[in-house]
Structure 1
Amino acid sequence: MKKIKYTVLLGMVVFLIHCDTKKDYFDDVGANLLCTTYAVCNGETPAKTGIIGDSWTDLLLGFPAVETLRPQLENRFHYKFVGATLGGKTLQQVVSQGLQFQVIDQGGADMKVIILSLGGNDIQANLSEYIGNIEVVQAQRFATIKANLKQMIISGNAYKISRFGGPPLKWIIHGYDYPNPYMTPVIAGSDEGCKSKFDRIGLVVPDAAVFTSNQLDAFNNLLLDTIREEPSLIYADLRNTLGGKPNSRAEFMLDCIHANNLGYTYLADKFARLIYPITNVGF
């Protein structure tokens, strides 16, 4: 979920083919990057489905060969997105930058649903703050996530109705699957969610897998609690897709928190089936 470094130029070229514009992708690399990551495109790009997400939807430039949820849904289930997806993106950033409004602007009057892959980076940031104070810090972060999520949905729906009329949007959020903290980081310094990161910063936990799986369960419970308060929000549970608690199986993982191609294939299959009754796309 942490932002992967911009290391491979070829990665940029391959990644950018997922942009929502219809022009020649090689004409203006910068414009395509803005379109994909911030929904700032050259004019409206009508679509029925929007997407705002972190590295579970787009790992960005470091690993172009890994097809995360966004390209899986586009290539295998025929989704046509407008979106703002970028590795390392936090829910806090989305709300602060008003990305929900930009996605709505790009999607137009026919957009019905926005898919969300957010929250993981808000939990993972500044792990050293957890040292000696895990429960308090986690509670504070979860409260902020919940408040930001509700603010994004309420403000987004008010904006959509004001601009285009019609009913409010449906917002679908997933809760990730279990990490595997014992995986080796693929790139040095990108070891979010790894036991090696815990050890390096002095975050001592009795069992890294138990710690991360309990944290992930708590996040999923937070989403369940939020949908009871916000009728426009729909929750998709992706846990136990890649092997189950306390950690996903290594053969399905790229690193500690991201699946590999096979893993994302399973995740996309499950996610597409769960959201089909809402989106009516893919089957």
Structure 2
Amino acid sequence: MKKIKYTLLLGILTFLIHCDTKKEYLEDISTHFLCYTYAICNGETPAKTGIIGDSWADILLGYPLVETLRPQLENRFQYKFVGATLGGKTLQQVVNQGLQFQVIDQGGADMKVIILSLGGNDIQDNLSEYIGKIDTVQAQRFATIKANLKQLVITGNAYKISKFGGAPIKWIIHGYDYPNPFMPPVIPGSDEGCKTKFDRVGLVVPDAAAFTATQLDAFNNLLVDVSREEPSFIYVDLRNTLGGKPFSRAEFMLDCIHANNLGYSLLADKLARLIYPITNVGF
């Protein structure tokens, strides 16, 4: 979650540029980036399952810094996704950019399900705004998240039906598992849910673990509410997979908000089991 600095990506690109200066090589990199992260691809890629997500789905362009949910589901459970995933992506950005339409265009008439990994960055961004008004800011952000989720589903289904016909898409969203605010940040810029970031921006909370756990529970409850109001919106609960509450165990965490490889393998196992009856993929 939270915006991931692209230091690693820039290093890779710099290395590749110096190794091969051919224009078509750089064009291949650009094409891959646009297709993988924004579903802007050269033509339709028929697929039954799409995915739109943040760093829980993909930290950095599929680069194996850590195997997040998207590569776990692709490599271990035979999912063939089309989608738009990149660390730092917010739900607000998805709606503003119309990524739901681009994913549907890419997948085509075969698209039946879109998996969502979104909302965490919308909650965690600009923590200083919470100072002195935690309840007010959280209520405002949750209201915006709810409105954006409903807009995503309603406009996405209307677009799919008008263009391809058939049944509405089923939108599956997972709630996140509990952060561990006491973990040190490993990925630059990913420390939004860390106590060190709270202290640095002046956000004083009596108990960092209780604060993050309460936020996480409230977000999951919000997803339940949306699922009751939108028939094609399906919520799956991943809480307590990594040992919480009130916070996930350090041996399963990369930093305060991201799991490590072992942690994501546990999350992917649970997610795959929960969504199998809907997607009929993976087991």
Could you tell me the TM-score, scaled by structure 2's length? 0.93
In structure 2, relative to structure 1, the CA distance for the partners of 1:119 and 1:160 (3 Å cut) is same
Partner SS state of residue 159, structure 2:
helix
Larger displacement relative to structure 2 (104-113 or 188-197): 188-197
Alpha-carbon RMSD:
1.8
Q: Tell me how many residue pairs correspond in the alignment.
A: 273
Q: For residues 27-75 of structure 1, what are the alpha-carbon distances to aligned partners after superposition, in whole Å with 9 as ceiling and x for unaligned?
A: 6000000000000011001100000000000001697330000000000
Matched, 1:281 2:265: no
Partner SS state of residue 7, structure 2:
coil
In structure 2, relative to structure 1, the CA distance for the partners of 1:88 and 1:9 (3 Å cut) is closer
Give the aligned partner of residue 223 of structure 2: 223
Distance in 1 of aligned mates of 2:136 and 2:172:
28
Partner SS state of residue 83, structure 2:
strand
Give the aligned partner of residue 254 of structure 1: 254
Q: Spell out the pairing of 1:86-101 with structure 2 (5 A cutoff).
A: 86-101=86-101
Q: For residues 198-246 of structure 1, what are the alpha-carbon distances to aligned partners after superposition, in whole Å with 9 as ceiling and x for unaligned?
A: 0001100000000000000000000001111000100010000000100
Give the aligned partner of residue 75 of structure 1: 75
In structure 2, relative to structure 1, the CA distance for the partners of 1:42 and 1:81 (3 Å cut) is same
Give the aligned partner of residue 52 of structure 1: 52
Matched, 1:268 2:283: no
Distance in 1 of aligned mates of 2:113 and 2:191:
33
Distance in 1 of aligned mates of 2:12 and 2:61:
5
Give the aligned partner of residue 174 of structure 1: 174
Distance in 2 of aligned mates of 1:271 and 1:191:
25
Residue 136 of structure 1 and its aligned partner are, at CA, apart by 0.8
Distance in 2 of aligned mates of 1:120 and 1:189:
14
Could you tell me the TM-score, scaled by structure 1's length? 0.93
Partner SS state of residue 28, structure 1:
helix
Larger displacement relative to structure 2 (188-197 or 150-159): 188-197
Distance in 1 of aligned mates of 2:55 and 2:72:
13
1:84 touches 1:99 (CA, 8 Å); kept in 2? yes
Q: Spell out the pairing of 1:10-25 with structure 2 (5 A cutoff).
A: none
Distance in 2 of aligned mates of 1:97 and 1:199:
33
Residue 2 of structure 1 and its aligned partner are, at CA, apart by 1.4
Residue 26 of structure 1 and its aligned partner are, at CA, apart by 8.0
In structure 2, relative to structure 1, the CA distance for the partners of 1:8 and 1:168 (3 Å cut) is same
Residue 4 of structure 1 and its aligned partner are, at CA, apart by 1.6
Structure 2's unaligned 5+ residue stretches are 14-23
In structure 2, relative to structure 1, the CA distance for the partners of 1:36 and 1:25 (3 Å cut) is farther
2:47 touches 2:82 (CA, 8 Å); kept in 1? yes
Structure 1's unaligned 5+ residue stretches are 14-23
Partner SS state of residue 109, structure 1:
helix
Partner SS state of residue 44, structure 1:
coil
1:31 corresponds to which letter in structure 2? T
Larger displacement relative to structure 2 (95-104 or 52-61): 52-61
Q: For residues 71-90 of structure 1, what are the alpha-carbon distances to aligned partners after superposition, in whole Å with 9 as ceiling and x for unaligned?
A: 00000000000000011000
Distance in 2 of aligned mates of 1:48 and 1:62:
20
Matched, 1:30 2:30: yes
In structure 2, relative to structure 1, the CA distance for the partners of 1:151 and 1:133 (3 Å cut) is same
In structure 2, relative to structure 1, the CA distance for the partners of 1:52 and 1:140 (3 Å cut) is same
2:116 corresponds to which letter in structure 1? L
Q: For residues 91-110 of structure 1, what are the alpha-carbon distances to aligned partners after superposition, in whole Å with 9 as ceiling and x for unaligned?
A: 00000000000000000001
Give the aligned partner of residue 3 of structure 1: 3
Distance in 2 of aligned mates of 1:203 and 1:28:
44
Residue 192 of structure 1 and its aligned partner are, at CA, apart by 1.1
Residue 162 of structure 1 and its aligned partner are, at CA, apart by 0.2
1:135 corresponds to which letter in structure 2? D
Residue 11 of structure 1 and its aligned partner are, at CA, apart by 7.9
Give the aligned partner of residue 141 of structure 1: 141
Distance in 2 of aligned mates of 1:231 and 1:249:
35
Residue 12 of structure 1 and its aligned partner are, at CA, apart by 5.3
In structure 2, relative to structure 1, the CA distance for the partners of 1:157 and 1:61 (3 Å cut) is closer
1:180 touches 1:209 (CA, 8 Å); kept in 2? yes
Identity across matched positions, percent: 83
Q: For residues 136-188 of structure 1, what are the alpha-carbon distances to aligned partners after superposition, in whole Å with 9 as ceiling and x for unaligned?
A: 11011000000000001000000000000001000000010000000001145
Give the aligned partner of residue 18 of structure 1: none
Partner SS state of residue 220, structure 2:
helix
Residue 3 of structure 1 and its aligned partner are, at CA, apart by 2.2
Residue 190 of structure 1 and its aligned partner are, at CA, apart by 3.1
